[in-house]
C-alpha cells in the first residue's frame, strides 16, 4: 500500500491511500487495486474504499516520479508462492487520462445474498452432521487443523464455495499443507506445522492437539547419490 502525494492529482486522488490486493489463495483471476479516502470528522476518521482496477495477484504498487501508478503482478505460483515454469507475472503502468473520464464505465455490482432462516438452520445441521467443526473454527480467531471459516462467504462466491466443498484438496493454503514427520523410533506424525525454531517443531495433529518435536528426534535419511 502507498499514499499518493498531495502534489500528485492522479484523477483527484491526491492524499488517498492505494492498496494492492493479491486476492484469495490460488484464485488466479482474483485481485486488484483500491483507493481509500480518509476524512477527519468531529468524532474521528471516515474511510471510503473505491475500486480502481481489477488485475489479479498484485504483490506491490508505487507511484513513480512521473505521477503514474506502477503495479507488480506476481502471477501464477506454486503452494509456496514461487513462480512456476510458465511465467505469468508482470508490471503495469497506470496513467490518468482526463479525456476518458466518464467513458466506458462498468458498474461494479455486489450481489447480496439472502437466505431464509430454514436454509441457515439446515447449514448449521450439515456443519454439525459432517463434523466440520473437528477441523474448522468459525470464531474468526482460531485456526485448527484447517482454516477458520468465519466470513468465508464474503471471500468466495457461491460457485467457489461449492468447488471448495466438492474438491477441498484442489487449493490448500501454504500454511495449511500437511507435513509428515518420521521420528527415530519409527513413529510417524502427520499434521500442520504451526511453529518451528532451531531446536524443535510444533505440529498440530488430527484432533487439533499440538505436540512439540525436537529436531534431534527426527529421522535423518541419507541423500541418494
Pair 23, 74 in one domain: yes
**CATH number of the structural domain spanning residue 210:** 2.30.30
pLDDT higher than threshold 60 for residue 125:
yes
Q: Is residue 110 part of a domain?
A: no
Pair 195, 129 in one domain: no
Q: How many helices (H) and strands (E) does the chain have?
A: 3, 11
| Residue 20: closest CA among 30, 11, 28 | 30
pTM above 0.85, yes or no: no
Expressed as residue numbers, the domain containing 27 is: 2-100
**Confidence grade of residue 184 (pLDDT, cut at 50, 70, 90):** very high
Q: Which of 141-145, 184-188, 212-216 shows the lowest mean pLDDT across its residues?
A: 141-145
Number of domains in the chain: 3
Pair 90, 8 in one domain: yes
CA 218/CA 157 separation, integer angstroms: 42
CA 112/CA 149 separation, integer angstroms: 19
For the chain, the average pLDDT equals 87
Q: Is residue 108 part of a domain?
A: no
Neighbours of 23 (CB within 10 A): 19
The per-residue pLDDT for range 3-54, each reduced to its tens digit, is 999 999 999 999 999 999 998 877 888 899 999 999 999 999 999 999 999 9
**pLDDT computed for residue 81 by the predictor:** 73
Amino acid at each position: 500500500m502507498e499514499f499518493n502525494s498531495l502534489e500528485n492529482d492522479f484523477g483527484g486522488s491526491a492524499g488517498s491511500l492505494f492498496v494492492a490486493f493479491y486476492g484469495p489463495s490460488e484464485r488466479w483471476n482474483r485481485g486488484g487495486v483500491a483507493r481509500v479516502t480518509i476524512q477527519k470528522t468531529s468524532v474521528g476518521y471516515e474511510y471510503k474504499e473505491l475500486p480502481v482496477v481489477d488485475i489479479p495477484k498484485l504483490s506491490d504498487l508505487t507511484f513513480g516520479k512521473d505521477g503514474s501508478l506502477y503495479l507488480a503482478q506476481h502471477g501464477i505460483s506454486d503452494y509456496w508462492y514461487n513462480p512456476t515454469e510458465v511465467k505469468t507475472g508482470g508490471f503495469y503502468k497506470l496513467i490518468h487520462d482526463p479525456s476518458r473520464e466518464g467513458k466506458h464505465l462498468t458498474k461494479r455490482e455486489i450481489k447480496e445474498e439472502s437466505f431464509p432462516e430454514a436454509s441457515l438452520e439446515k447449514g448449521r445441521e450439515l456443519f454439525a452432521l459432517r463434523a466440520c467443526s473437528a477441523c474448522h473454527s468459525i470464531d474468526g480467531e482460531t485456526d485448527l487443523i484447517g482454516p477458520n471459516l468465519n466470513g468465508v462467504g464474503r471471500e468466495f462466491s457461491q460457485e467457489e464455495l461449492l468447488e471448495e466443498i466438492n474438491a477441498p484438496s484442489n487449493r490448500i493454503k501454504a500454511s495449511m499443507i500437511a507435513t509428515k514427520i518420521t521420528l527415530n523410533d519409527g513413529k510417524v506424525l502427520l499434521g500442520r506445522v504451526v511453529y518451528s525454531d532451531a531446536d524443535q517443531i510444533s505440529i498440530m495433529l488430527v484432533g487439533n492437539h499440538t505436540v512439540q518435536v525436537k529436531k534431534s528426534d527426527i529421522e535423518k535419511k541419507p541423500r541418494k547419490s
